[in-house]
Structure 1
């Protein structure tokens, strides 16, 4: 029969995902070894606890006598364990900060190229048809699923750092082709390659940041990917004011992509390889230990070895998940326990794109023509609201819960769309349409924007999470392509 302490421990482990319990068990073993005699006393007291599981404080074993050798040994062990706990907490060292900033610039470029085609539609090779322009816009989403599909194998075979550098070179060459394009067909090809780079970025950057960041900074650094994306969209709108003009103006707008990617490549020496990836191939690697010392700001060898143990444990969990993935999508849908979760994940990704949010980011400038004097002002306002709403979403995410935010997000977007339609039909002033679009974007960012990505990792266990993420990404990019291709025809029909 389990003691109350053991039962409480079991309930805690059962309620957490495998990767979390692994770390807790590891830390529990460290503390138990450090305070073995006191842990034994507590276990003995737990066995004699009352039925409610309470222990009287006066029953706890006394601490060592002041000045004794036992007290000295106890304090030495306590300090070592606290040092190890501080190592796990982690700090934002200069090496970690530089690696993170260089990596998240990839997501900035992904966001920038999401919005960069919005403003110059009327000045890039004037006279093109709606079909050609919509194909140029949506070619970005054609390359996306291809990039996300190959990124998984590249990140394992080449390593995190080299895969990111290859991604930067793809952005560079795609951006150069785009800015020097002689015709619309070349622009379509360039957008496809940039889409491949953006799709792979959605896989590479989260993996890289998750492996470099210490546990206490992982959530904070993880949110930087979303911020970098929305800031990239905002930057494309702001730069459209000086550069959204006839040739050569629009070429400068497109040239931002190769310039930023070239800056990243030039700073490639600061882009450290993931110690987890190195240690998974060579547990005795001195290079991995040197990188860990830089990332964590460590001074002593025992601190480095403690961190090495944590990386090796995480790598073992990751390898176990990869082995358990089996026949991927088919196996996931055959498993009755997770089939409904898989359906929910797919439907959420479809809802995220088919709600039309990327129609706003792709074509808002054209949408605001005739509604306000300068359509770029409307587009920039939307992008700025998008950044603010993303920050608000981060504050609400844990306090309100996923389901509540999804419901509020969907309801708010529905009401906003109704108001937009009424304004476009002339039942309300044009300024109401501008306000309603901004409200629509705000409600999107507090729910349907971030949650479909977060909830997949939370719903699935280690066996299926990678497969579910891959499937969700494919569905998302496919629906993104449909929206980008179809919306101009719908807009023309409604007018």
Structure 2
């Protein structure tokens, strides 16, 4: 006799099969007849698939579990057949056994690594170009002010003029995040990233060929607008197109690309620092990378979730958008167009999206992000990117050279080498976060990392107050800070921002988070110099340590775990 894909020889095992049927379908009855049992199941049991589920039969009520347990005490054990992860799925006669059930695909997306690399790579280039600007500007600001090396007649820049050049991309990023707020849902993730790459391209070319200071600053602003739009669109596109099992890994890898960009900027700067007009090459080097990003994004499909969002919003025919979404998902997963798995996943996403919109029939206003589940998401995401900026990263890196010099490291005499050393360490620690984020989860990395930040800041304060004779304490605290930041606030903040917002407000919510990030960055940049003069290093590290302690409490009490959940599950299980 066969039950599903399990074969029984008869005798006592027939009773085992019958009892298993009663456990799987408690509401049915089995009546004895001559020579055996009559079951409500089909008289000829067709073989079915054996499916594996990390939570077998947990949907049964407790009373049914107890009943099954009491029955199992009378059953012979079958350890070689039934495992803790085994789920048997009886099918009606004539059912289609060739495709998995919806619940299987909702739990785990079917994908190949080769199919997810390209949809990740080109959006991640937006992060690399952001990091490249940070690294290249450190060398370009030196080259630009050199009478021998600038190659200009306007090299003698004032502090305000130099500040505008250095911070021009930051102001542009603020403008870009403001532009993204009302336009992101209209443009879509893909077109937003194409626009960002075009702004990167134009900004890099204008900056590299600037004939005077005004054009240089305009080029920096254009490039910065590209940063604001890319840092909004890239996590959105990656989050909405990634399989849920590796979403955390891929979005954290985007942070790794930012660090790689910083290192690339340092490298190009160190090569071109002795060339006349080297700053032009440093800024212009971003243009070909931006062109690759633009061509790659042009070839990628739109986000399937964005297409469904437009359908539910009534921006076009539902069936047309649904068909486009199915084709986009199939292309992203490397499947044939119109395959059953993509169709089922699109149907499930559409159902959850319609349910979300059914609660509020209107399209919502620009202020909808400050209401209900969206407000809760903004508190979580906005809080993380705010604490990311105000827990002292600029101040720690500012004192890095003097700390290493006090410990006797010869590399500290060369600021460029110190930057490369710290950049390599950041890269290493970010790699650890990338490898562990979908294994350990978001909360453990955040709590452990922010705890390390708190300890390192108080150690630095103690060094400048009472432990000045122990420079190795400062070096250890510096490395602890950098490492802890790169496994917590560095990658996890943007990961949480990209996945925590409901789909209907995700575009606007992330634009507000990006605005919060760059706004707080600008605030810290402006406030650091006067605070440094007013408080001194010991007290400024105490201040940042207290803020970091507050951020640790915020993470512990407010930030949820999203590991392994689909974006729709995050919306229904955490935000509602």
TM range (shorter): 0.7 to 0.9
Structure 2 residue 25 is the aligned partner of structure 1 residue 41: yes
Structure 2 residue 387 is the aligned partner of structure 1 residue 351: yes
**What are the residue-to-residue correspondences of 1:224-303 with 2, within 5 Å?**
224-279=253-308, 280=311, 281-285=316-320, 286-299=323-336, 301-303=339-341
Write the distance in 1 (CA, Å) between the matches of 2:478 and 2:169: 24
So what's the TM-score if we normalise by structure 1? 0.73
Aligned residue for 2:456? 413
Query: For structure 1, which segment, 51-60 or 257-266, has the greater mean C-alpha deviation from structure 2 after superposition?
Result: 51-60
Higher helix share: 1
How much does 1:379 deviate? 0.2
Aligned residue for 1:14? none
Sort the Cα spacing of 1:324 and 1:480 in 2 relative to 1 into closer, same or farther, 3 A: farther
Write the distance in 1 (CA, Å) between the matches of 2:318 and 2:288: 38
1:104 to 105, 124, 131: 124
Structure 1: runs of 5+ lacking an equivalent:
1-36, 61-70
- Equivalent position SS for 1:89: coil
How much does 1:172 deviate? 0.6
Sort the Cα spacing of 1:128 and 1:304 in 2 relative to 1 into closer, same or farther, 3 A: same
How much does 1:251 deviate? 1.6
Please give the per-residue CA displacement for 1:270-315, whole angstroms capped at 9, x wherever unaligned: 3222233334244333544433332223346434422331343355
Write the distance in 1 (CA, Å) between the matches of 2:129 and 2:63: 60
Aligned residue for 1:197? 226
**Aligned 8 A contact 1:243 1:253 in 2:** yes
Write the distance in 1 (CA, Å) between the matches of 2:492 and 2:303: 27
- Equivalent position SS for 2:25: helix
Aligned residue for 1:316? 354
How much does 1:343 deviate? 6.5
Aligned residue for 2:520? 479
Structure 2 residue 434 is the aligned partner of structure 1 residue 398: no
Structure 2 residue 424 is the aligned partner of structure 1 residue 384: yes
**Aligned 8 A contact 2:240 2:305 in 1:** yes
Structure 2 residue 140 is the aligned partner of structure 1 residue 120: yes
Write the distance in 2 (CA, Å) between the matches of 1:466 and 1:322: 18
Write the distance in 1 (CA, Å) between the matches of 2:138 and 2:419: 8
* Equivalent residues, number: 446
1:80 to 92, 95, 99: 99
Structure of greater relative contact order (alpha carbons < 8 Å, 6+ residues apart): 1
Write the distance in 2 (CA, Å) between the matches of 1:50 and 1:398: 32
How much does 1:366 deviate? 10
- Equivalent position SS for 1:42: coil
Write the distance in 2 (CA, Å) between the matches of 1:116 and 1:40: 64
Write the distance in 2 (CA, Å) between the matches of 1:146 and 1:373: 37
Structure 2: runs of 5+ lacking an equivalent:
1-20, 30-59, 76-89, 147-155, 538-576
Flag the structure with larger Rg: 2
**Aligned 8 A contact 2:198 2:290 in 1:** yes
How much does 1:456 deviate? 6.0
How much does 1:149 deviate? 2.6
